[in-house]
Structure 1
Amino acid sequence: MSSPNESHEPTEPLARGARLLGGDEFSFAAAIGGPRGFVESILPGLVFVVAYITVGGFKVPVIASVGIVVVMVVARLVQRTPVTQAMSGVFGVALGAVWAWRAGDAGEYFLPGLWINAVYLVGVLITMAVGWPIVGVAVGLFRGIGTSWRKDREIRRRMQWATLVLAATFGLRLLVQVPLYLAGNVTALGTAKLAMGIPLFALSLWVMWLLVGSVGRPQAPLDQPQPK
């Protein structure tokens, strides 16, 4: 299960999700990276949206979002806590900042994230198509059952459904956010990205865990012997 001090690179939410799916219990706190991790994950995007609404343009929002990441890293260094926790979304912020700055358009800040979701969606669907749903692979790895789940048709079906939930998460983001990007509605796009980021992913993880959480766990006998 995720520790509060783990890295939050772009792939970290997926890795954290895999560990949660392989655990015996589900924790929404762990799914969002803990209270401070959650704040550090959404703060750069929130600052960007607020700066865009109040100031406009692209320079101030971009500088503000990058600046808040620097502040979070410095705060971690001063407190001598792991810096990796403050790195939530740093890659996405940096890539979005460069994209928006080069294009001179605040809306371009969100384009890399749309492409990343599209790549994830295609990758997840491919694992389903070839019969190795990524959720099944993750559960097998983190629960120590290897590929034994593939021998049971019912379990394979549940792994496919859970993986479909993951694919639907990426697909829903694109379905909502791409039209907003094309319409140039930066405020709505930024708000949607925040709402459909960690909160939506945590909810999706919970649904996936409900589908596969019991796989590979020892089952208690239905009829317990009665003491004499």
Structure 2
Amino acid sequence: MSGGAGIRSISGETFSWQEAVGGWRGAVESVLPGLLFVVVFVATGQQLQPALIAAAACALVAVLLRLIQRSPLTQAFSGVLGVGIGVFWAWRTGDAGDYFAWGLLVNAGYLLAFVVSALIGWPLVGLVLGMFRPEGPLSEGGSWAGAMAWRRDRMLRRRFAAVTWLWAGMFGLRLAVQGPLYLADQVGWLGTAKLVMGLPLTALVLWLSWILVRGTTAATPAPVPSRQDP
């Protein structure tokens, strides 16, 4: 989904928009490389090399600043990896649209995973959130087996399935909008769509997910064994 911060924003008793986007610094690190790529590409008359350099330099500076300040690197490294793959792909093909190809493939992979998990009755959102529930392994006294306790509750299964389809819808919407722009080589519009449907849309889906699952953080009661007459 959207990383640890995003998952915590869903499972908490209250919703924090700042936590959902990984903090303001995380939001800037996520958005700025792609924004610079589009701006520089358009401003230079659709020259690819300056745009690639701007995006790569931005991602690397974000990592270096975190190293100097000794702050957590997970989100910055994740960002620089995605930017690095996009830069390398576009540089090898000479096609600016390929800077966004990796993101399209990632969304296709997530869409497939979420849809399949919902169809087979093991919604991915439930599998992930189960680890944060009181009986899950990330809570004191919880266990990996406890992470599956929600499956005994029909209401929880339905809620987690609904949220899983919500996330599948987000990934499908991205592909439906950005895929044709990629095929039509509309790099400026593709970059704009990716920015709008990236962090802002993810934060909105996190909020809707929180609405659907709030109140479900209590431990799932253990089944009561039936009593049989001697």
- TM-score with structure 2 length normalisation? 0.84
Task: Map 1:113-132 to 2 at 5 A.
Answer: 113-132=103-122
**Cα gap change, 1:154/1:169 in structure 2, threshold over 3 Å: closer, same or farther?**
same
Q: Is residue 37–residue 88 contact of structure 1 (8 Å, CA) maintained in 2?
A: no
Structure-2 separation of matches of 1:21 and 1:100: 35
Structure-2 separation of matches of 1:98 and 1:77: 24
Task: Name stretches of at least 5 consecutive residues in structure 2 with no aligned partner.
Answer: 136-146, 220-230
| Map of 2:22 onto structure 1 | 33
Q: Does 1:49 align with 2:50?
A: no
Structure-1 separation of matches of 2:18 and 2:26: 10
Q: Is residue 6–residue 21 contact of structure 2 (8 Å, CA) maintained in 1?
A: no
SS at match of 1:142: coil
Structure-2 separation of matches of 1:147 and 1:78: 41
| Map of 2:12 onto structure 1 | 23
Q: Is residue 22–residue 138 contact of structure 1 (8 Å, CA) maintained in 2?
A: no
Q: Is residue 130–residue 150 contact of structure 2 (8 Å, CA) maintained in 1?
A: yes
Identity %: 49
| Map of 1:208 onto structure 2 | 209
SS at match of 2:14: coil
Q: Does 1:92 align with 2:82?
A: yes
User: What amino acid is the match of 1:214?
Assistant: G
RMSD: 1.7
Q: 2:99 aligns with which of 83, 89, 109?
A: 109
Q: 1:75 aligns with which of 62, 65, 72?
A: 65
Structure-2 separation of matches of 1:25 and 1:215: 12
- Residue by residue, what CA displacement relative to the aligned partner does 1:23-69 show, whole Å, maximum 9, x if unpaired? 22211100101111101111100110111110122111111100111
SS at match of 1:144: coil
Structure-2 separation of matches of 1:205 and 1:154: 20
Task: Quote how far apart the aligned CAs of 1:85 are.
Answer: 4.4
Q: Is residue 60–residue 80 contact of structure 2 (8 Å, CA) maintained in 1?
A: no
What count of residue pairs does the alignment treat as equivalent? 207
User: What amino acid is the match of 1:184?
Assistant: D
Task: Map 1:176-215 to 2 at 5 A.
Answer: 176-215=177-216
